[in-house]
Structure 1
Amino acid sequence: MSIRLSETTLAEIDGKVAVPTYDRSKLSAGILHFGVGNFHRAHQAVYLDALFETGKGHDFAIVGAGVMPSDQAMRDKLSAQDFLTTVVEQDNARTSARVTGPMVDILPVADAAAIIAKLADPAIKIVSLTVTEGGYFIDSDGVFDPSHPAIAADGQNPDAPKTVFGLIGAGLKRRREAGIAPFTVMSCDNIPHNGKVCRAAVVGTARLYDGEFADWIAGRVAFPNGMVDRITPATSAREIDHCRESFGIDDAWPVYCEEFKQWVLEDHFPAGRPALEEVGVQFVPDVTPYENMKIRILNGGHAIIAYPAGLMDVHFVHEAMETDLVAKFLDKLETEEILPILPPVPNTDLADYYALIKRRFANPKIGDTVRRLCLDGSNRQPKFIVPSILDNLKAGKEPVGLALESALWCRYCRGVTESGATIAPNDPNWDALVERAKAAESDPMAWLEMTEVYGTLKDEPRFAKPFADWLAMLADKGTEATLKTYLGAA
């Protein structure tokens, strides 16, 4: 008999799994978080839950906020269980669960007035966000695009904004007018220099309606960069059933994740912050080496295995790692074209880090899907793969393997696997990508003409030629034979 998760049933659940021992009724919100998804609840919320268990930081509880229609389902499900979450950590050798409780509310979705009022609350010291890599309105060069229709609309209606960045600006404006010190804005997304990118979006949106105010934000508001890491698949019926059957907890939206987690932050929080260093967060003067390491090796590695595995009809990520050609493709590409061009990381051996990444990818308990890794390539490729291409070219090296990865992405976007199975839309720009991928069958440069992804790489023969050659081979011989050729096994 399962127990429905709620504040009133915690005593019953205690003993089945760990539950909060701190008094949640005495928590007060000090953090407003945009984008209450699985990653946030498996990462930032878990660190705060651990800190609250020490008796510290209880004035830094989380209040959630959302601007997308999809956020409503999360609000409905979490509010019905008093904003509690069952977090299930799955390592290769163990599985454990804990109910976490650092969230105390989620504001009405897309309610600008309610969100701005909370942002103006002096108790809010930090505004954090996980809005995905594609949610920052940036072009292929990583530059904020103020002409995007959603941003332009906020510029015309600054008192009733609809984007996260318009809302943050409106909240800061309200605080400034009331003489309240600004909060710190903390991005938790997988983007190089995420604080800098977030700052550009907030300042750029404000500049559309008030240049002096935009300058005030640029000069007075802190946007620390951070590196976040934890593999966290989407929740499906599989996880909900497992939580009920294995732990006796009826949780409408449990979070399943790997045991490993990492958070590296620049220590720039003028309004104050919780003592997260006491629960494993690394505070450093410059996060750049850590984020480069993670984004290139882990996120880039995800892309490397995703598209060949997807084309070969492999479902789970651990199954991709059990597929000899895919695993060897990852090894060769990482060791020849990614690890060698990465700068040193303090107190870190890159080879050891890569070995850890492979172990994490191979974890059979996570249930992470290849389809999730293939998602949103148009936003992920320019952040996770293209920088490694450019750095190899700068170092005088021909990025043959990275050209193959790009060709595999193009082939995947034709929308059909090697077996003839249809690939369901898997990118916000899916229709355009499919059309372009089909055009690339006769003209490979049609794919590289996506300047928002590749910049000017179409004009770089050291990349464009191997890309065209690999794409032709994929069309002629298929994924398996092409991988064997790259690996020297043909």
Structure 2
Amino acid sequence: MALRLSLASLGEVPAGVDTPFYSRDDLSAGIVHFGIGNFHRAHQAIYLDDLFNLGLDRDFAIVGAGVLPSDALMRERLAGQDYLTTVVEQEAGRSSARITGPMIDFLPPGNAAATIERLADPAIRIVSLTITEGGYFIDPATGVFNPAHPAIAADAAAPEAPATVFGLILAGLKARRDRGIPPFTVMSCDNIPGNGEVTCNAVAGLADLIDPALAAHVRANVAFPNGMVDRITPATTDREREILLRDFGIEDTWPVFCEDFKQWVLEDHFPLGRPAFEKVGVTFVEDVAPFEHMKIRILNGGHATIAYPAALMDIHFVHEAMEDPLIRAFLRKLETEEIIPVIPPVPGVVLADYFELIERRFSNPKIGDTIARLCLDGSNRQPKFILPSTRDRLKAGAPVTGLTLVSALWCRYCEGTSDSGRIIAPNDESAARLKQAALAARSDFRAFLALTDIFGTLGDDPVFARSFATALESLHSRGTKATLEAYIGGRL
């Protein structure tokens, strides 16, 4: 009979499933985290669980927070199982399950007053975020905070009732300043270059619209450490729930499945203190930028590289894409010839070895990561994961054939059908606009490059434009497989 996950049932968990070495009564809140999704529960929450199991820093338990409708559903599901999560780590030859419990509360989304009051609590020393690359109100083409975004303008007009993560954080910092409480550290855990600086720009940029003195306070007194995070964590579906029930006998409404590998590189800038993360595998460095650069370009850029051809070829899982010889060869050729050569050295890392690791991780048949997840939110991901490498190579006068093929594949994907005619469901906030531009690009490729909020001035570069046009024409006339073959064979 299945065991329904709860604090009361922890003592009955089947053999072989790890449970916390601590009780809920051992914990007290020290962190408010916005964005309690799968990645957070497979990453930051795991490091805290490991630390709490060592008997350390149990005053840094997590209080969840959020602003989206999905946050309300997550709160409901997790509250129903006392904020416990089953995490299943999967490698080709093994799977293991553990129950984690570093979260002790989840603030009601939509209740700004309750969230602000919790942020003002002196016990809260860190506010962390996993809100995806698209959640920072950044102009995709420039990477600069956009103060004119309607959601930011709404928070600026009503700062006492904020509806964005940054409005809530700013209101919490203001309350602490007004009460004489030192500011908490704000720690982004999203895949954005310079994620600490980006977060500072969002919080202080909003403050600029409300109170310049508050903006000055934020810039002078609030710590925003940069960090690089890494763990492949697919979305939870009934597939994962059924595997958990079948293989481990546990009923969890929202389990997390992930790979065995995880990494966190972080700048040590926490004025009010922090958990001893270094004791559980976090690497602290003076400058995260080289590690961020490597991971975002090679791993996230690699995901984008395989995602769109796989979608156009009707491939469902990431490991299935890696089993396709054309897609695997496309990834290797692009990474080794165009992406890795423009990545600066990373202390203690051989980039060729790092790519070999990434290739093995993408090939993991047990993880169940989907191509649809990798294709999500391309309008925010392309400018962060692919186009920076393109710009660097153009600046160096180097060829960009493979990188522009990735952009052309994305354009073809945005048309909304695969090569077989299968309908591709929209999965981008700008899906309608992207589809219109992609369809127009069938007769004039410039229609897609005219999306300057994404491409910036790249469309004006004759080398990029010519290469993009060639790749897109090939995709339209010959299809994805033949175009990949041409690129791999040096004929594109």
TM-score in terms of structure 1 length: 0.99
Residue 411 of structure 1 is matched in structure 2 by: 412
Q: Take 1:160 and 1:26, find their aligned partners in 2: how far apart are those partners?
A: 34
- SS of residue paired to 1:127: strand
Specify whether residues 2 and 16 from structure 1 end up closer, same or farther in structure 2 by C-alpha distance, changes over 3 A only: farther
1:479 matched to 2:487? The reply is no
> 1:59 offset after TM fit, Å?
0.3
- SS of residue paired to 1:274: coil
Q: Take 1:414 and 1:23, find their aligned partners in 2: how far apart are those partners?
A: 52
Residue 87 of structure 1 is matched in structure 2 by: 87
- In structure 1, runs of 5+ residues without a counterpart are none
Q: Take 2:421 and 2:68, find their aligned partners in 1: how far apart are those partners?
A: 34
Q: Take 1:80 and 1:187, find their aligned partners in 2: how far apart are those partners?
A: 28
Segments ≥4 residues shifted beyond 4 Å: none
Q: Take 2:363 and 2:453, find their aligned partners in 1: how far apart are those partners?
A: 32
Residue 205 of structure 1 is matched in structure 2 by: 206
Q: Take 1:373 and 1:89, find their aligned partners in 2: how far apart are those partners?
A: 20
1:128 matched to 2:125? The reply is no
Residue 78 of structure 2 is matched in structure 1 by: 78
Matches of residues 238-387 of structure 1 in structure 2 within 5 Å?
Answer: 238-387=239-388
AA partner of residue 359 (structure 1): R
Q: Deviations over 1:313-341 (max 9, x none)?
A: 00000000000100000000000000111
Residue 21 of structure 1 is matched in structure 2 by: 21
- In structure 2, runs of 5+ residues without a counterpart are none
> 1:269 offset after TM fit, Å?
0.4
AA partner of residue 433 (structure 1): L
Residue 112 of structure 1 is matched in structure 2 by: 112
AA partner of residue 363 (structure 1): N
Q: Take 2:388 and 2:88, find their aligned partners in 1: how far apart are those partners?
A: 34
- SS of residue paired to 1:128: strand
Residue 429 of structure 2 is matched in structure 1 by: 428
Q: Deviations over 1:453-485 (max 9, x none)?
A: 111001101111010011011111111111111
Q: Take 2:300 and 2:370, find their aligned partners in 1: how far apart are those partners?
A: 14
Residue 151 of structure 1 is matched in structure 2 by: 152
> 1:23 offset after TM fit, Å?
2.0
Q: Does the aligned pair in 2 maintain the 1:18–1:97 contact within 8 Å?
A: yes
> 1:310 offset after TM fit, Å?
0.4
- SS of residue paired to 1:352: helix
> 1:16 offset after TM fit, Å?
3.9
- SS of residue paired to 2:9: helix
- SS of residue paired to 2:69: coil
> 1:207 offset after TM fit, Å?
1.1
- SS of residue paired to 2:159: coil
Q: Does the aligned pair in 2 maintain the 1:16–1:248 contact within 8 Å?
A: no
Q: Take 2:25 and 2:109, find their aligned partners in 1: how far apart are those partners?
A: 23
Greater alpha carbon shift after TM alignment, 13-22 vs 209-218: 13-22
1:44 matched to 2:59? The reply is no
Percent identity of equivalent pairs:
64
AA partner of residue 220 (structure 2): G
Q: Does the aligned pair in 1 maintain the 2:326–2:485 contact within 8 Å?
A: yes
RMSD: 0.8
AA partner of residue 125 (structure 2): K
- SS of residue paired to 2:89: strand
Q: Take 1:94 and 1:489, find their aligned partners in 2: how far apart are those partners?
A: 39
Residue 197 of structure 2 is matched in structure 1 by: 196
Matches of residues 159-170 of structure 1 in structure 2 within 5 Å?
Answer: 159-170=160-171
Q: Does the aligned pair in 2 maintain the 1:404–1:467 contact within 8 Å?
A: yes
- SS of residue paired to 2:210: coil
> 1:452 offset after TM fit, Å?
1.4
Q: Take 2:197 and 2:203, find their aligned partners in 1: how far apart are those partners?
A: 10
Q: Take 2:199 and 2:334, find their aligned partners in 1: how far apart are those partners?
A: 31
Q: Does the aligned pair in 1 maintain the 2:14–2:249 contact within 8 Å?
A: no
Residue 446 of structure 1 is matched in structure 2 by: 447
AA partner of residue 284 (structure 2): F
Q: Deviations over 1:19-64 (max 9, x none)?
A: 0011221200100000000000000000000000110010000000
Q: Does the aligned pair in 2 maintain the 1:90–1:258 contact within 8 Å?
A: yes
Q: Deviations over 1:4-25 (max 9, x none)?
A: 0000000001624000011221
Q: Take 2:14 and 2:271, find their aligned partners in 1: how far apart are those partners?
A: 38
Specify whether residues 489 and 323 from structure 1 end up closer, same or farther in structure 2 by C-alpha distance, changes over 3 A only: farther
AA partner of residue 401 (structure 2): V
Residue 176 of structure 1 is matched in structure 2 by: 177
Q: Take 1:134 and 1:203, find their aligned partners in 2: how far apart are those partners?
A: 18
Q: Does the aligned pair in 1 maintain the 2:14–2:248 contact within 8 Å?
A: no
AA partner of residue 263 (structure 1): W
AA partner of residue 83 (structure 1): Y
AA partner of residue 440 (structure 1): A
Tell me the matched-pair count.
490
Q: Take 2:25 and 2:81, find their aligned partners in 1: how far apart are those partners?
A: 15
> 1:222 offset after TM fit, Å?
0.2
Q: Deviations over 1:71-129 (max 9, x none)?
A: 11100000010000000000122110100000001001121000000000000000000
Q: Take 1:473 and 1:100, find their aligned partners in 2: how far apart are those partners?
A: 49
- SS of residue paired to 2:347: coil
Q: Deviations over 1:434-456 (max 9, x none)?
A: 11000001110111111111110
Q: Does the aligned pair in 2 maintain the 1:304–1:330 contact within 8 Å?
A: yes
TM-score in terms of structure 2 length: 0.99
